[in-house]
Structure 1
Amino acid sequence: MGNNKKRILYIGNILSKHGFTPTNIETLTPQLSEEFSVIKVSDKKNKILRLLDICKAIIFNKSKLDLILIDTYSTSAFKFAQIAGELCMRFNIPYIAILHGGNLPQKIEKANPKEKAFFTNAAALVAPSNFLYASFEKFGLKNLVYIPNNIDLSQYPFKQRTQLKPNLYWVRSFHQIYNPVMAVDVLKIITEKYPDATLTMTGPDKDGTEALVKARAAELNLQNSLIVTGKLSRSEWHKLAATKDIFINTTNVDNTPISVVEAMALGLPVVSTNVGGLPYLLSNNIDARLVDPEKPALMADAIIGLLNNPDQVQSLTQAALNKVKAFDWSVVKKQWSGLINDKAR
């Protein structure tokens, strides 16, 4: 790497080798490395070791760094971001907080002075969704920037579905906040009209909810209609998606799920709950169908409507493809490059 490159430390959770879903840091680091000199931290599964790893990386590299990027979550991991921010302020290193999670607005609303200082002293707060941008804008923050999470559209083969079948696809971590059990209830309603309907669910089990899904399927006598694949690589689930016809998203809490963006890029019509950032990402009856959460009957009606209206499906999926072009790395790269060059010391 040339010596003239801006030197960046990226702080986040690099835990895919421990079986966790890859996070933003694992995608964005190699992309930013095309232009900048980037080191990343931490891959320690133990939280105490991870925090020590983060602090060590800042302290040992403080004189070499031009900028620090910090993935910022609303959960207990926020403490890591706060401590990293305090070290940045102590050593006069500019930092950018990359906001993740639909609950972050509640976090700042209830934040104590030290926690608020993390947000106000950041060189920039990058909101990867219009939902988070609008939510943080209410607090009068002047350092907000919208840069969406990105995908490489060339890696997503778009398939135009002209003859839809009731083959539903759900891709997410099995966790109660994503309400995977609702997907089974939706399937039950669909099978009353389409007995051959299937539901395929892909993702790691985070809190034991996968067992609840299987139990619900057994209770409703849907064992032969439900396929649970477990965690798949991105290329594996994309290949499987080509055999499916409708993507469903049953979540109760969300920001801008990248799996929904990927489904749009693959040509799958999306039926989703209208919670959190999803109405900021999807436009009802324009590029997706949106329904109220915890209402399986409404989602089933929306799905049946698409099965009966292939012309609308073509319209929705083409509009969805046009929308996700703004998420392509060729577009997002310019936004990151401009921001980093502007904020680095």
Structure 2
Amino acid sequence: MKTLIYIGNKSGVSKHANMSSIDILGRLLEESGYKIYYASSKKNIVLRLLHMLWVCFKYSNRADYVLIDTYSTLNFYYAYFVSQMCRLLHLKYIPILHGGKLPNRLQQSPKLSKAIFNHAYKNVSPSKYIKSKFEAFGYKNLICIPNSIELGNYKFKKREFDEANLLWVRSFSEIYNPFLAIKVLKALKDESINAKLCMVGPDSDGSLQKAKNYANELQVEVIFTGKLDKKEWINLSENYNIFINTTHVDNMPVSIIESWALGLPVVSTNVGGIPFFVKHNENGILVEPNMESAFVDAIKKLISSKNYGNKIAEEARRCAENLDWNVVKNYWIKVLN
């Protein structure tokens, strides 16, 4: 049995955040036969870093690899110190490259970036977008292993498109631009289009209350559910026929893959890594960021042509099947074995 150390945000379920990568991928790897030691669940940033370093030291004689969830903000510094500890202990470490803003960090912190990524056993990118950005900075030790879902948890449903029932699923954060979804609903209503909007997700930076206030200001009724677990929002999705992704910054959001699996055609901004896996008019519809008129035009096209929406949804489901964990885990096994 291979033994791994997994470094990331192991804080568990929180009302302010969706489940983190370490919780999802870690469980799937354990179920695939790997023994994993985790760090860290500590809240204090200094204690968290010390715990991460301690776990690497404690299990250095047992671990075959160290996985490090790597983001662009505070976590970047955790990744730096842990990677340097791994170098001292002669541990093979694998940064997992998350977040649409991570390429900015390569420019902001070139020396720290080189210290982390040039000495990694492999740098794993969930998207071709991040991989291409790293390659543009001269990094070579890269492999793309996409985000995945457990397809059996998602039942494909053929939708009717006689009205616009919009579903938005994300953390309420400025970078995900939840206010645009409300603007889109208002614009549809102004054109006398039968539409409704449900927004699912935890509050990340105070944007949830701002979104509620904005909906009241525009005098449109929006359903705000707060955070739902996976099963709850999948059940909720039965009542909706279009998924909208309004973000300013993105990489390869799992919520889009989940929508594909459920049969919800996706209308998304064409930012970051989105165009690398959502193909316009094939498995989704791409529009310019922060333009409610572009969203409205795409939604009107979906509800004016039943065949168009179903064609996109069926192709999207085929794409989701290629991102099932039973497929993706083989990429991980190849790297870790």
Q: Distance in 1 between matches of 2:161 and 2:180?
A: 26
State the Cα deviation string for residues 208-239 of structure 1 (Å, max 9, x = none): 111221111111111xx210000000110000
Q: Give the match's secondary structure for 2:322.
A: helix
| Runs of 4+, deviation exceeding 4 Å | none
Aligned to 1:336: 332
Length-normalised TM-score, structure 2: 0.97
Q: Is the 8 A contact 2:161 2:304 kept in 1?
A: no
Q: 1:228 to 1:134 in 2, by over 3 A?
A: same
Runs of 5+ consecutive residues of structure 2 not aligned to the other structure: none
Aligned to 2:118: 120
Asked if structure 1 preserves the Cα contact closer than 8 Å seen for 2:125 and 2:144, the reply is yes
Q: Structure 1 CA distance, aligned partners of 2:112 and 2:181?
A: 41
Task: Report the alpha carbon displacement of residue 196 of structure 1 after superposing the two structures with TM.
Answer: 4.0
1:260 equivalent among 256, 261, 268: 256
Kindly tell me the number of residue pairs found equivalent between the two proteins. Answer: 335
- Tell me by how many angstroms 1:171 deviates: 0.4
In 1, the alpha carbon distance for the partners of 2:308 and 2:84 equals 52
Corresponding residue to 1:30 among 14, 27, 32: 27
Deviation at 1:16? 3.0
2:229 to 230, 233, 237: 233
| Deviation of the 1:109 alpha carbon | 2.3
Q: Provide the C-alpha distance between the structure 2 equivalents of 1:178 and 1:187, rounded to a whole number of angstroms.
A: 16
Question: Any unmatched runs of 5+ in structure 1?
Answer: none
2:223 and 2:124 mapped to 1: Cα distance? 37
Matches within 5 A, 1:166-181: 166-181=164-179
What's the offset of the Cα at 1:194?
A: 3.9
Residue by residue, what CA displacement relative to the aligned partner does 1:307-341 show, whole Å, maximum 9, x if unpaired?
10110011100111111112101111111001011
Q: How does 1:12-51 map to 2 (within 5 A)?
A: 12-19=8-15, 20-33=17-30, 34-51=32-49
Shift of residue 137, structure 1, vs aligned partner: 1.4
**What does residue 89 of structure 1 align with?**
87
Q: Which residue of 1 aligns with 2:182?
A: 184
CA RMSD in angstroms, aligned pairs only: 1.2
Distance 1:114 1:198 in 2: 47
C-alpha deviation, 1:195, in angstroms: 5.3
Q: Secondary structure at the match of 2:239?
A: coil
Match of 2:104 in 1: 106
Identity in percent:
41
TM-score (norm 1): 0.94
8 Å CA contact retained: 1:68, 1:93? yes
